[in-house]
Amino acid sequence: MKTYTVWLVRLLAVACIFAVGSVPMVYADAHEMGEEEMAEEEASGVSGWFRTDTDSLGTQIWVGASHSPSFLGGLSLDTDIYVVGTFGELDIGLGIPVVDSDSLSLSFLPMVGIGFDYAAANGPSSLIAPQLFTYLTAGSIYFESWIQGFFNSPFDYGDDSIYTRDFILYSLNDTIAIGPQIEVTIGLGDDGGLSSMVVGGRANVGYGENNTLGVFVGFETQKGDEETGITGRMTFVRMW
């Protein structure tokens, strides 16, 4: 009995020694795996964003991502979905960085999109193309431009139009940027022409790291007789 007890104590001691010795090895393996996963995530080069807008169209939800695989040679493959009511849109494009330095950044993003109104099972509802987005940062100055074509008539979904949104902001500090904004919609076809032109001011406010709240207040120059013409948009953007 005494011999059995002695051997049991020795076995327990050996087991404890191995257990204690294995802790640093397990920690090192886990730490190494964590570093590898972080390296793979960084190597994937994927950034994303979430956006919500509220304006004359209602409340809209956007989600997008930018993929930068090595075989594109510095370009990025950009995708997003846009949802408002029963309408959903899928866009795909190619990000083209022209200048990227500490003092100046300029990039273009041409895209094409297809839209579906899921209220009726009639297939596509709209071709959103061509699209061109321009982004410029120069010191405290930020400029953004949207140009979009909406072709609905081939799907009997409404009239065709061209839409543009342009604004330039000056950063007062790390939190607030302000500046003018203009939005123009031009109808196409026989009954086309200028259907909307909103001119006003915009303010972007930082809401913590990677969060931005945008407020646009403008005047609709093509307003109806019974309208004040005051309109605008509220925007929230989250990037990661």
Residue 26 structural domain: 1-44
Where is pLDDT greater, at 48 or 38? 48
Shared domain for 27 and 99, answered yes or no, is no
Overall average pLDDT of the 63-81 stretch: 95
Evaluate if residue 162 carries a pLDDT over 60. yes
Residues 180-217 pLDDT 10s: 999 999 999 888 999 999 999 999 999 999 999 999 99
Q: How far apart (Å, rounded) are the C-alpha atoms in residues 98 and 117?
A: 36
Same domain, 23 and 105: no
Domain total of the chain: 2
pLDDT per residue as tens digits for the range 119-161: 999 999 999 999 999 999 999 999 999 999 999 999 999 999 9
35 and 58 inside one domain: no
Give me the pLDDT at residue 189, please.
Answer: 86
Looking at residue 55, which CATH number applies to its domain? Answer: 2.40.160.40
Within this chain, do residues 140 and 231 fall inside the same structural domain, yes or no? yes
Predicted confidence at residue 191, as pLDDT, reads: 85
101 and 208 together in one domain: yes
Residues 58 and 122 in one domain: yes
Last residue of a domain, one of 44, 59, 75: 44
Co-location of 32 and 11 in the same domain: yes
Phi, psi of 59 (to 5 degrees): -95, 125
71: left (phi over 0), alpha (psi -120 to 50) or beta: alpha
Q: Are residues 144 and 97 in the same domain?
A: yes
CB of 101 within 8 A of CB of 132? no
- pLDDT-derived band at 75, boundaries 50, 70, 90: very high
Same structural domain, 125 and 31 = no
Average pLDDT over residues 34-54: 73
